[in-house]
């Protein structure tokens, strides 16, 4: 049985916190009861087995599940392979309800048949509307959702600044929009398919020198079309996307290892450490060495 979470807005859903987690084979999702927040899970690798209120969900790569704040959930089966999931906690401060997917589409069809526009009684009256979110779905653009959650997570370290929290809330609405639009069609557009394939290839081959020709041959699309699709879906060119992936991996190495910056630059695909430092500094606002000093784990504690 599929469910829809229908939200009355304003107010809009509110971002709280996000992160990612690796679950080794044999591990399970946490058991929790009435956690008080919505918990969005998006799987990028493997499969997570979660039960909520007696219903089992197999959340495989590319799928998303929203766990409700007023329910009990637990891992009903162990992971059989290395599993990576990205999580995001959010809150709905206004009214919301859960309805069956079949009932939702029935109600929507009836409203569309009426074809009546909402007219406020007063020119300054707030016009509320409903926002529908699928509780469980195969995402048409999974990598776009994952990248956005990762960006939100990366911003958490500076969330003590009001300006950063405002940017997070605006960015979170992109996640909400992607989830809501996935209800309109579960069949991704050709452009989304192309962009997702290109993103997957670049994530796998980020250590190699970028080649638009090789990328096109590998996923069987013309390089110009790939660039157009990635700009539309991810907001950047393939080369810029690969650069972001390299910086993403370099940050993990800076935090989790004692490798010299020069070695890290080589490890993530840069031929010259100076160019790596320049790119990293432009993107992060501080040099790799300062980043390490600020955010490296204290492994002695």
- Three-state secondary structure of 84-147: EEEEEEEECCCCEEEEEHHHHHHHHHHHHHHCCCCCCCCCCCCCCEEEEEECEEECCCHHHHHH
Confidence of residue 115 (pLDDT cuts 50, 70, 90): low
What whole-number distance in Å separates Cα of residue 52 and Cα of residue 276?
45
Which pLDDT score, from 0 to 100, does residue 255 have? Answer: 86
Chain mean position to CA 139: 10
Which pLDDT score, from 0 to 100, does residue 101 have? Answer: 85
239 contacts 269 by C-beta, under 8 angstroms: no
29 domain-assigned: yes
177 domain-assigned: yes
Say yes or no: 69 and 110 in one domain. yes
What does the pLDDT average to over 154-177? 92
Q: Above 90 in pLDDT, residue 206?
A: yes
Which pLDDT score, from 0 to 100, does residue 301 have? Answer: 38
Say yes or no: 109 and 230 in one domain. no
Specify the higher pLDDT residue, 298 or 280.
280
8's CB contacts (< 8 A; 6+ apart) are 94, 95, 96, 128, 129, 130, 131
Which of 181, 204, 220 lies at the terminal end of a domain, its last residue?
181
Instruction: Give tens-digit pLDDT for 51-97.
Output: 999 999 999 999 999 999 999 999 999 999 999 999 999 999 999 99
Which pLDDT score, from 0 to 100, does residue 112 have? Answer: 67
Q: Above 80 in pLDDT, residue 123?
A: no
Mean pLDDT of the chain: 90
What does the pLDDT average to over 29-35? 91
The SS3 call for residue 63 is strand
What does the pLDDT average to over 146-174? 93
Say yes or no: 174 and 201 in one domain. no
What does the pLDDT average to over 35-56? 96
300 domain-assigned: no
CATH of the domain at 148: 2.60.120.280
301 domain-assigned: no
What whole-number distance in Å separates Cα of residue 67 and Cα of residue 74?
10
State the residue range of the domain holding 67.
3-181
Which pLDDT score, from 0 to 100, does residue 298 have? Answer: 41
Q: Above 60 in pLDDT, residue 23?
A: yes
| Interior angle at CA 67, CA 104 and CA 144, nearest 5 | 85
Confidence of residue 41 (pLDDT cuts 50, 70, 90): very high
Say yes or no: 82 and 161 in one domain. yes
172 contacts 13 by C-beta, under 8 angstroms: yes
What whole-number distance in Å separates Cα of residue 153 and Cα of residue 251?
13
Q: Above 60 in pLDDT, residue 48?
A: yes
Say yes or no: 126 and 47 in one domain. yes
Which pLDDT score, from 0 to 100, does residue 216 have? Answer: 96
Say yes or no: 27 and 173 in one domain. yes
Which of 156, 181, 206 lies at the terminal end of a domain, its last residue?
181
127 domain-assigned: yes
Specify the higher pLDDT residue, 50 or 299.
50
Say yes or no: 144 and 225 in one domain. no
Which of 157, 181, 205 lies at the terminal end of a domain, its last residue?
181
Instruction: Give tens-digit pLDDT for 224-240.
Output: 999 999 999 999 999 99
Beta strands in the chain (DSSP E): 3-9, 14-23, 32-33, 38-45, 47-52, 55-60, 63-67, 72-75, 83-91, 96-100, 129-134, 136-138
pTM of this structure:
0.81
What does the pLDDT average to over 245-253? 93
Instruction: Provide the domain count of the chain.
Output: 2
Say yes or no: 172 and 216 in one domain. no
């Amino acid at each position: 049985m599929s469910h829809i979470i229908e939200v009355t807005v304003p107010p809009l859903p509110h971002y709280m916190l996000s992160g990612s987690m690796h679950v080794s084979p044999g591990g399970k999702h946490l058991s929790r009861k009435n956690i008080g927040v919505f918990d969005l899970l998006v799987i990028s690798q493997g499969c997570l087995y979660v039960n909520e209120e007696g219903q089992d969900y197999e959340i495989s790569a590319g799928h998303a599940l929203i766990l409700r704040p007023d329910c009990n959930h637990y891992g009903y089966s162990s992971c059989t392979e290395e599993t990576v999931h990205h999580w995001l906690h959010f809150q709905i401060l206004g009214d919301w309800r859960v309805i069956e997917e079949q009932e939702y589409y029935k109600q929507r069809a009836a409203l569309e048949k009426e074809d009546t526009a909402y007219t406020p009684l007063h020119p300054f009256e707030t016009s509320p509307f409903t926002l529908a979110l699928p509780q469980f779905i195969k995402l048409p653009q999974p990598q776009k959702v994952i990248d956005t959650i990762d960006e939100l997570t990366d911003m958490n370290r500076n969330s003590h600044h009001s300006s950063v929290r405002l940017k997070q809330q605006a960015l979170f609405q992109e996640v909400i929009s992607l989830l809501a639009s996935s209800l309109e069609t579960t069949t991704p557009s050709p452009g989304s398919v192309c962009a997702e394939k290109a993103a997957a290839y670049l994530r796998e081959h980020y250590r190699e020198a970028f080649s638009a020709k090789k990328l096109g041959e590998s996923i069987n699309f013309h390089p110009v079309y790939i660039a157009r699709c990635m700009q539309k879906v991810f907001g950047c060119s393939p080369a810029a996307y690969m650069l972001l992936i390299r910086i993403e991996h370099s940050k993990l190495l800076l935090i989790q290892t004692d490798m010299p910056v020069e070695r890290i630059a080589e490890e993530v695909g840069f031929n010259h450490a100076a160019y790596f430092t320049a790119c990293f500094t432009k993107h992060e606002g501080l040099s790799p060495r300062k980043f390490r000093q600020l955010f490296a784990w204290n492994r002695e504690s």
